[in-house]
């Protein structure tokens, strides 16, 4: 069994991204499961192209994309992605779409095909904050989740896919001017491991 696990590069002036730092801590295997990791550009169009190309190359049994959500205190599997780009800040390529669809003419939304409730429960069972989120925002994270699910729906290969947001690391949170939630990096990685265990029970 193979899991394609992706995470974004730093963005918005940050020098690290909690998602990639945590993904990078995970081993390449968890029992019989092979974990194939890819870093993804924090850019609207390139992120989708990067991940869909990786799906074609790797032929995974599931895809989990991970992103950083400053301000969140829990690891949050995302339930839904909407067909909308509305960026508060430019992406790393300088693109800042406003009120644009991810896929012109595409469905209004896609639901995750991963077991999001079981993932949140597994994170909680590991002693960490976890909950299902009903909004992936309107930035590159939602964009990638929608683009991935649109692509997977078109392949008809029945590969489940979805997205999970993680909080800032405690080091990142401590550097913010305003009080911001954060978790130790090892705990974020442990939460991801728990979530993965729910995808491949």
Domain boundaries defined on the chain: 2-199
Is residue 18 within 8 Å of residue 192, measured between CB atoms? Answer: no
CA distance 135 to 81: 7
Question: How many Å separate Cα 120 from the centre of its chain?
Answer: 14
177 belongs to the catalytic site:
no
pLDDT at 156 over 90: no
> Residue 160 gets which letter from DSSP?
-
Q: From the candidates 43, 65, 141, 150, give the one annotated as an active-site residue.
A: 141
Q: What is the pLDDT of residue 40?
A: 98
pLDDT at 63 over 90: yes
Q: From the candidates 65, 78, 131, 150, give the one annotated as an active-site residue.
A: 78
Is residue 137 within 8 Å of residue 81, measured between CB atoms? Answer: no
150 belongs to the catalytic site:
no
CA distance 196 to 10: 23
Q: Please tell me the class of the 2-199 domain.
A: alpha beta
pTM of the model: 0.96
User: With the C-alpha atoms ordered 182, 187, 191, 193, is the resulting torsion angle positive or negative?
Assistant: positive
Q: What is the pLDDT of residue 130?
A: 98
Q: From the candidates 21, 65, 150, 165, give the one annotated as an active-site residue.
A: 165
165 belongs to the catalytic site:
yes
């Amino acid at each position: 069994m193979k899991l394609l696990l992706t995470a974004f590069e730093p963005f918005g002036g940050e020098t690290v991204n909690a998602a990639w730092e945590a993904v990078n801590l995970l081993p390449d295997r968890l029992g019989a499961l092979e974990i194939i990791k890819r870093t993804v550009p924090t850019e609207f169009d390139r992120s989708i192209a990067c991940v869909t190309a990786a799906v074609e190359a790797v032929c995974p049994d599931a895809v989990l994309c991970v992103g950083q959500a400053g301000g969140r205190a829990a690891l949050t599997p995302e339930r839904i992605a909407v067909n909308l780009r509305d960026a508060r800040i430019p992406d790393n390529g300088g693109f800042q779409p406003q009120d644009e669809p991810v896929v012109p003419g595409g469905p209004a939304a896609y639901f995750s095909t991963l077991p999001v409730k079981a993932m949140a429960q597994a994170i909680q069972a590991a002693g960490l904050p976890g909950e299902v989120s009903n909004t992936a925002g309107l930035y590159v994270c939602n964009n990638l989740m929608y683009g991935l699910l649109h692509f997977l729906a078109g392949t008809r290969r029945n590969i489940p896919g979805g997205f999970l947001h993680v909080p800032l690391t405690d080091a990142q949170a401590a550097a913010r001017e305003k009080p911001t939630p954060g978790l130790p990096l090892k705990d974020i990685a442990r939460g991801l491991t728990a979530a993965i265990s729910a995808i491949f029970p």
